[in-house]
Amino acid sequence: MSRRTRSDNSIQGIPEATIARLPLYLRALYALADRDTACVSSEELATAAGVNSAKLRKDLSHLGSYGTRGVGYDVDYLIYQVSRELGLTQDWPVIIVGAGNLGRALANYGGFATRGFRVAAMIDSDPLIIGTSIGGHRVFGPDEIERVVTRFGVMIGAITAPATSAQSVCNRLVAAGVTSILNFAPVVLTVPDGVDVRKVDLSIELQILAFHAQRRSASKAHPTAEPPAVNGCEPPSVNGKRPVTQQVTRQAHDEVTAEAIGS
């Protein structure tokens, strides 16, 4: 279990929360540069990025003193500095595993390449898909993962395969040398130390939205009332056979729990 992420940040000193916002600032900066804005104040940039100006200044101060007091930040200069900090002054080849609905969408996505990310190759296990081209990228079989990763020096992989194969795909990617993984499958991936996993989970986002939506409509309906006497499951008794508590209809789902791999 890699818990090193937290301490890694402190040894160099840039908080994770700041890192997560830098791409936001970068996007706002590019938008400003497009409008030929040469210089921007923390207030303006913060508004454009949707954050507090104090937070923005503190975030940027972690990269260095790149502003001019009384004036603001030079847009092009700041774009360069933020890009450098994020490692965007180089190109990043990305391997996409799973050429289904989502994998295709990614491969066809133009915005993918706009920040130096390039699709090195697509991988799929379906013989009918292998050999075809998607978004101008040839699809290879899973056995080519090692070769592609080595050949192009791929460090970043996106997993858009079904949840059931996500962990094994992940293992193959890591074995081949990939150290950063963007996971779209609804699974908790287990990876050795030194490998970075981020997940994009649409289902979770929707559920969070549902929670807030529920709360909103509940407080609309009963401004200050108890929740309407939930008549759901009774607390189950442990001794004896378990009572019938199947009020929630079991729904189909494709999620699996990840099997641990040797760290």
For 187-209, b where at least 16 C-beta lie within 10 A, e where not — what string? bebbbeeebbbeeeeeeeeeeee
For DNA, which residue of 57, 76, 168, 179 counts as binding (CB under 7 A)?
57
User: Which of DNA, ligand NAD, a copy of itself, none has residue 60 at its interface (CB below 5 to 8 Å by kind)?
Assistant: DNA
User: Which of a copy of itself, DNA, ligand NAD, none has residue 54 at its interface (CB below 5 to 8 Å by kind)?
Assistant: DNA
Please state, in angstroms and rounded to a whole number, the distance separating the CA atoms of residues 257 and 122: 25
SS (H, E, C) 7-24: HHHHHHCCCHHHHHHHHH
Closer Cβ to DNA, 3 or 35, answer by number: 3
User: Which of ligand NAD, a copy of itself, DNA, none has residue 161 at its interface (CB below 5 to 8 Å by kind)?
Assistant: ligand NAD
Q: Which residue is nearest to ligand NAD (CB)?
A: 100
Q: Let me know: does 18 contact 59? Beta carbons within 8 Å.
A: yes
Q: Of how many residues is the chain composed?
A: 263
Closer Cβ to ligand NAD, 42 or 190, answer by number: 190
For DNA, which residue of 4, 10, 193, 219 counts as binding (CB under 7 A)?
10
Closer Cβ to DNA, 35 or 69, answer by number: 69
Tokens (6 digits) for 250: 């079991």
Tokens (6 digits) for 124: 């799929």
Please state, in angstroms and rounded to a whole number, the distance separating the CA atoms of residues 228 and 100: 43
Q: Among the candidate windows 14-22, 133-141, 169-177, 199-207, which touches DNA by CB under 7 A?
A: 14-22
Closer Cβ to a copy of itself, 135 or 143, answer by number: 135
Residue 124 interacts with ligand NAD (CB under 6 A)? yes
Q: Among the candidate windows 11-19, 117-125, 156-164, 183-191, which touches DNA by CB under 7 A?
A: 11-19
Tokens (6 digits) for 205: 């986002």
What number of other Cβ atoms are within 10 A of residue 237's Cβ?
Answer: 9
- Residue 58-97 contact track with DNA, rule CB under 7 A, x = bound: x-xx---xxxxxxxxx------------------------
| 159: enclosing H helix or E strand | strand 156-159
- Residue 226-245 contact track with DNA, rule CB under 7 A, x = bound: -----------xxx------
Q: Which of 164, 172, 18, 42 is nearest to 95 (CA)?
A: 172
Residue 167 interacts with ligand NAD (CB under 6 A)? no
Q: Which of 53, 45, 55 is nearest to 17 (CA)?
A: 55
Any residues with CB less than 8 A from the CB of 16 and at least 6 apart, and which?
A: 5, 6, 9
Q: Distance of alpha carbon 97 from its chain centroid, rounded?
A: 15
Which residues of this chain interact with DNA, rule CB under 7 A? 3, 6-7, 9-10, 15-18, 41-43, 51-55, 57-58, 60-61, 65-73, 237-239
Provide the binding-site residues for ligand NAD, judged by CB under 6 A. Answer: 97-103, 105-106, 109, 111, 123-126, 129, 142, 160-163, 165, 169, 184-186, 202, 254
